[in-house]
Every structure is written in structure tokens, then in C-alpha cells.
DNA sequence: CAAAACCGACCGACCGGTCGGTTTTCGGGC
DNA sequence: GCCCGAAAACCGACCGGTCGGTCGGTTTTG
């Protein structure tokens, strides 16, 4: 019965979207299942028909989103040849996508943190995947002689943390403010800073990059 | 009546210490006031005699700790003359103290995150103070011509984020593990990476530093 | 002995999860 | 095309437990 299956999947997607919304607004603990249900235009019972419990919703949301993100980042890496450019690409993609979906970024970086040890473990594992991704690129760059040897694990962690912090500010910052920076300005500063941090300053420098809007496929969540 | 005041302060301190303990174990939401009371060897009523509410406890804990931390960092900065060395000192002090008090680090970086918007705002403000502190040192370094001009706000954010992420891993990481690094190794990598990121590689380099264990004063919390 | 400090039973709000009942869907018999 | 009946999907009142906060009473303190 592919009909029901499609329906079920669509319902689940709708609930996940609603959950992401509500959680990003209220935080995981204060996101009542009933409110998620309302946002998804269904009822508590409806939600519990599709998910075994509240916990499962966030876990599913986490995994689903992480999968999409990782796919994007891996694709971006594969599209580059030069090791340093690969690392740069991973960074750029992560920044761009997370910045576009502030809601998701909040859920990932903030809300899941205080949602209990099980979630911490999951988020930690997911972040580890991305850190590993960055680290691999750095390792390749070292192997290729493009940059000097270093503790790439720690450096990758630092990159991820820097990206996260800067993004956090960007997402959370009051909309007004005199010191407001555009995402592109932030990206450029961050890019230069991070590349310099591994001793790769005069990098390819795709300033007049023509690959903006790299693809048209839409599939939030 | 200085006697009562002293007693009151001592009670409050005891409750704050207990709160830090329980919160770091259970997380803010799951830290029941009654458990904090038990840990502080008092009762719920006793706690509510000293604090107007649960929220006030964490807020007080946050402010108190932030004050101590900032004092330490400012002292470390003041003790250096060279602009780059000042920035380096701020970083080193933050890393060392936070690493020493994992409990507090957890409360600051993790638990407060999911504890509601009011806490996010407070933690955000506190982090902003430290970011500002770092930024000032960077600005001075730029003014002194020690490093090239850059968007010091974003760079300071990145530094703070990098520090936080690396520290987070260090604090959270499973105790065993083959890739386990000592704090000193991490510090050195991070130091080099961050200094390089602002183009200050050949820094003073206090590798054979003699200022380890800079002071003996003990005052957790 | 009064005021400060402390105690803990209790209240009320909230929320995750359940469940009996209702509506919708859809394949197959006519 | 239409109807039907069963299964899938959905609904929301309700239950049980938790926990922040209250308050009248008790102990300690100066």
C-alpha cells in the first residue's frame, strides 16, 4: 500500500517541521506536544500515532537534518580538487546552509543542549561527524604538503566552534544595531581568519566566485 | 547586625555551591529545588528564605561566577605589556580556569543554554563581555601595528567559539580513548592556531614558560 | 522574648502519555 | 459508479506524576 505510506511520510514530515518550529521558539522542554500538534494542524493523539513519544520526535528531527546537511557538505567537498579548497568548501557550505535555516541552527546548537544527556550524546555525535569531515580535509592538505603538520583534530574542533559561535551571534543578534554585518562580510572574515590559522593564507581566493546559488533544489527539512 | 549578614551570605554561598553541583549533574530543568536544598543541607523553605525563586538562584550563580572569571582575565591582561601577549594571556587564563572547574564550565556553556530565553540573554551578555575583552586586545594590537587590520569583532567571536568548542570536547570526552590529549597539548595547538589566525605567528613564544601555576589562591565558585 | 531563620506538608499548574471513541480512507463486490 | 466494511488515521478528555512556590508553625539566635 504505497498510498498510505506516502501519506504517513508526509504527515511525519509535517510534524517534524512543526516540532522544529515550536522547539526553536520555546525550547525542547517547554515545547508541549500539544503545541506541536496544533502547529502541525493535528492533535496530540495524531502525533502519538506517528511517533512513540516526544523524545523520538526530536531524535528523528536531529537525524533527518544531519543527514541532509552532511550530504550537502560532502557534495561541496567532492566538487573541489585542491585540499585547502575542499576544507574551505566544507566550511562555506556549512555556514551558508545553517545561516539560511536559522530555525534549524537554533535547534542544533542551542535547544538540544539542555534537553538531557541522551540528546547531548546525539548532538555530540553529529557534530563529531562534521568535525571528522573537516579534519579529513585538513589531513589531506597536510599529506599533500599544502599546509604544515598540526593536530588536525583540535584544529577541526576549533573551526567548528568558531563557525558555530559566529553563526550564533549572527542568528541571535538584534536585527538593528550599528555593527550589523552582512553574512558575506562575516563569511569573508571568517574564511580569511580560518585559512590563515592553518597557514594557508594566499588560498585560491575565489572572491569573485561564480558558483553562488549553487543549485536550485528545495528541500528544507 | 553584621553577624546575621555574614550568616546570610554564608548560607547563600552554600546554596549557590549546591545549585552548581546539582545543575551540573541534572541540568537546570531537572534540578529540583528540593534536591538543591538537600545538597545544601537545608530545606525547600530554607532556600526560598534566601532566594525569591529558582530562577534567581541560577542568575545569581551566573553573575557571581562571571565576575570572578572576568577579574582573573583582566588581571592576566594587565600583567602583560605587548598587545599580542595580552590577547594570548586572556585566552590562556580563560582556558585554564574553565578547564579546572569543569562543573562551572558545564553550567555556563551547556546547561544555561536550554534554560529559557532569559538565561540565554544573560549568558549571551556575559559571553559578550569576554568577547569584548578579547576584541579590545586585538584592537590594541592592530593600533600598535603588531597585526594587520581586520574585523576584530568577528575574529573575537571566532576565538571565543573555538575556545569553547575545544574545551567542551575536553570536558565531555570519555576519559579513556586513544586520542586523548593533555590540556597542555590542546592549549599549545589552540594557541598557535589562534595566533596564526591573526597573522601573529612568531609570537613571544613562552614555550619554556616559567609562569606555570601562576598563583595559589583557591576560591572555587 | 521578639525577630530571624528554618522546616516540610500542601496546593495548583503543567505536561507526557493513554485510550475509547469517531472520522476518513480505500479496495473490492455489486 | 456506488456502496460497504474494515482498517488506518485521528481526536481530545483524562490520568498520573512532578515540581515550583506557599504558608503556618517551629526552632534558633542575639
Does residue A56 have a pLDDT over 50?
A: yes
pLDDT of residue A53: 95
Buried/exposed B77-106: b ≥16 CB within 10 Å, e otherwise = beebeebbbbbbbbbbbbbebbbebebbbb
Is-contact A168 A109, C-beta < 8 A? Answer: yes
Query: Which chain B positions have a beta carbon within 8 Å of A179's beta carbon?
Result: 153
Does residue A113 have a pLDDT over 80?
A: no
CA distance B25 to chain A (A): 10
Cβ contact, residue pair B154, A186, below 8 Å: yes
Which residue has better confidence, A108 or B202?
A: A108
Does residue B210 have a pLDDT over 60?
A: no
The grid cell for A14 is: 509535517
pLDDT of residue B215: 43
Does residue A130 have a pLDDT over 50?
A: yes
The DSSP output letter for A208 is T
Does residue A4 have a pLDDT over 70?
A: no
Pick out the nucleotide with least CA–C1' distance to A57: C16
Does residue A142 have a pLDDT over 90?
A: yes
pLDDT of residue A220: 45
In this structure, of A78-82, A215-219, B62-66, B196-200, the range with the lowest mean pLDDT score is A215-219
Mean pLDDT score of chain B: 82
Chain B: residue whose CA lies nearest to A199: B196
Q: Give the best-scoring range by mean pLDDT among A45-54, A206-215, B25-34.
A: A45-54
pLDDT of residue A211: 45
A145, with CB counted inside 10 A (0-12, 13-18, 19+), is exposed
Interface A-B, measured as beta-carbon pairs within 8 A, has a size of 129
CA distance B4 to chain A (A): 37
B142–chain A Cβ distance below 8 A for any pair: no
Averaged pLDDT for residues A192-204: 80
pLDDT of residue B171: 72
Averaged pLDDT for residues A188-199: 92
pTM reported for the whole predicted model: 0.81
Averaged pLDDT for residues A48-67: 93
Nearest of A202, A215, A208 to residue A85 by alpha carbon: A202
Chain B: residue whose CA lies nearest to A151: B189
In this structure, of A21-30, A55-64, A79-88, B111-120, the range with the lowest mean pLDDT score is B111-120
pLDDT of residue B175: 57
Convert the pLDDT of each residue in B127-168 to its tens digit: 889 899 989 999 999 999 999 999 999 999 999 889 888 887
Does residue A119 have a pLDDT over 60?
A: yes
pLDDT of residue B220: 45
Nearest of A97, A75, A94, A74 to residue A220 by alpha carbon: A97
pLDDT of residue B112: 65
pLDDT of residue B54: 95
Averaged pLDDT for residues B69-97: 89
Query: Which chain B positions have a beta carbon within 8 Å of A138's beta carbon?
Result: none
Q: Which helix (H) or strand (E) holds A56?
A: helix A54-78
Averaged pLDDT for residues B121-132: 87
pLDDT of residue B208: 42
Euclidean distance between CA atoms B15 and A204, whole angstroms: 56
Averaged pLDDT for residues B62-69: 90
Averaged pLDDT for residues B61-74: 91
Span CA (A122) to C1' (C8), Å = 39
The DSSP output letter for A82 is S
Averaged pLDDT for residues A121-139: 88
Does residue A59 have a pLDDT over 60?
A: yes
Does residue A165 have a pLDDT over 90?
A: no
The grid cell for A147 is: 599546509
With cut-offs at 50, 70 and 90, classify the pLDDT of residue B88: confident
pLDDT of residue A221: 43
Which percentage of chain B shows pLDDT scores above 70?
A: 81
- Inter-CA distances, A91 with A35, A187, A191, B32, B60, Å: 35, 9, 8, 41, 38
CA distance B167 to chain A (A): 9
Return the residue in B32, B159, B169 with the most chain A beta carbons within 10 A, the one to mutate for interface testing.
B169
Convert the pLDDT of each residue in A12-34 to its tens digit: 999 999 999 998 888 888 899 99
Sign of the alpha-carbon torsion through B31, B33, B35, B40:
positive
With cut-offs at 50, 70 and 90, classify the pLDDT of residue B212: very low
Contact residues for strand D with beta carbon within 7 Å? A 4, 7-8, 11, 37, 41-46, 48-50; B 1, 3-4, 7, 30-34, 44-45, 48, 53-55
Averaged pLDDT for residues B67-74: 92
Amino acid at each position: 500500500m504505497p498510498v498510505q505510506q506516502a501519506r504517513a511520510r508526509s504527515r511525519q514530515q509535517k510534524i517534524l517541521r512543526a516540532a522544529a518550529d515550536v522547539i526553536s521558539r520555546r525550547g525542547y522542554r517547554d515545547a508541549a506536544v500539544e503545541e506541536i500538534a496544533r502547529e502541525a494542524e493535528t492533535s496530540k493523539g495524531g502525533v502519538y500515532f506517528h511517533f512513540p513519544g516526544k523524545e523520538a520526535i526530536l531524535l528523528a528531527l536531529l537525524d533527518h537534518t544531519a543527514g541532509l546537511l552532511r550530504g550537502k557538505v560532502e557534495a561541496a567537498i567532492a566538487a573541489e580538487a585542491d585540499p585547502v579548497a575542499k576544507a574551505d568548501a566544507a566550511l562555506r557550505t556549512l555556514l551558508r546552509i545553517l545561516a539560511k535555516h536559522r530555525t534549524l541552527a537554533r535547534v542544533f546548537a542551542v535547544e538540544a543542549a539542555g534537553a538531557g544527556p541522551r540528546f547531548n550524546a546525539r548532538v555530540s555525535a553529529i557534530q563529531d561527524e562534521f568535525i571528522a569531515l573537516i579534519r579529513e580535509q585538513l589531513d589531506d592538505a597536510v599529506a599533500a604538503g599544502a599546509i604544515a603538520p598540526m593536530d588536525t583534530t583540535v584544529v577541526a574542533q576549533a573551526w567548528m566552534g568558531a563557525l558555530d559561535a559566529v553563526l550564533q551571534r549572527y542568528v541571535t543578534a538584534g536585527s538593528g544595531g550599528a555593527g550589523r554585518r552582512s553574512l558575506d562580510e562575516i563569511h569573508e572574515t571568517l574564511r580569511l581568519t580560518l585559512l590563515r590559522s592553518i597557514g594557508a593564507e594566499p588560498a585560491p581566493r575565489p572572491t569573485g566566485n561564480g558558483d553562488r546559488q549553487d543549485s536550485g533544489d528545495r528541500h528544507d527539512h
